[in-house]
Amino acid sequence: MQADWPQRWLREALDIVPRDSSLYAAALTHRSASGRNNERLEFLGDAVLNLLIAETLYARFPIAPEGDLSRLRARLVSAEPLADIALGLGLGDALQLGSGELKTGGFRRESILSDALEAVIGACYLDAGLEATRSLVARLFSVALERLPDVETLKDPKTRLQERLQARGFSLPTYTVEKIAGEPHAQTFAVRCEVTALGLEFDGEGSSRRRAEQDAATRALAALDVDGRA
């Protein structure tokens, strides 16, 4: 690790000149490495990030209901999008990892990258305050905010099917587990979705009951698009 770590990465990737570089050093240190790690800063950064993204969405979508705002926030601050941002910043190269994580490619692992990015946000909050952190988050998420999809596409299939049937005055679908196969660590669930009002049934499969139900709901939505009755 270079002698000026982490200042160099902070300057080049985030345009940050830290007051207390030890905060950022901790933020970029995984628990597998020796010394102070980023778990506490990740906890703090998660809360700060959720606040700032919620604030941004609240202002950007003034008539969106709470459920839609929650789905939009989840789209921005879940592990996958956070890891994508971290990768773009080269954060993995700035991480300090234990030898085991280095050997297994921990610097590319989604959970490690997303946690470290939240930890950096927590460090910025402690080091420079809320306004500076708000500016940092705005820069980091500017592209993702512009690329947010229509909120309707963020609803899961079960929710969309339920809302579609309710809008037409039909009763809600029911889901029944028909079969569970495989070993406990690798089970497959078979589920049947019944749309009683239309006399229709749809089967779904998945590695959990929830995924099987979502699969069945997806098939139901596709069939209803073709059928035209709902």
Q: Give the residue numbers annotated as catalytic, written as ranges.
A: 46, 118
Alpha-carbon gap, residue 142 to 34, rounded angstroms: 34
The letter for the amino acid at 132 is: A
Give the number of other Cβ atoms within 10 Å of residue 183's Cβ: 6
Cis previous bond, 6, omega within 30: yes
Question: Is 13:90 a contact under the CB 8 Å cutoff?
Answer: yes
Give the number of other Cβ atoms within 10 Å of residue 220's Cβ: 27
List all residues 6 or more positions away from 66 whose beta carbon is below 8 Å from its beta carbon: none
Alpha-carbon gap, residue 149 to 194, rounded angstroms: 30
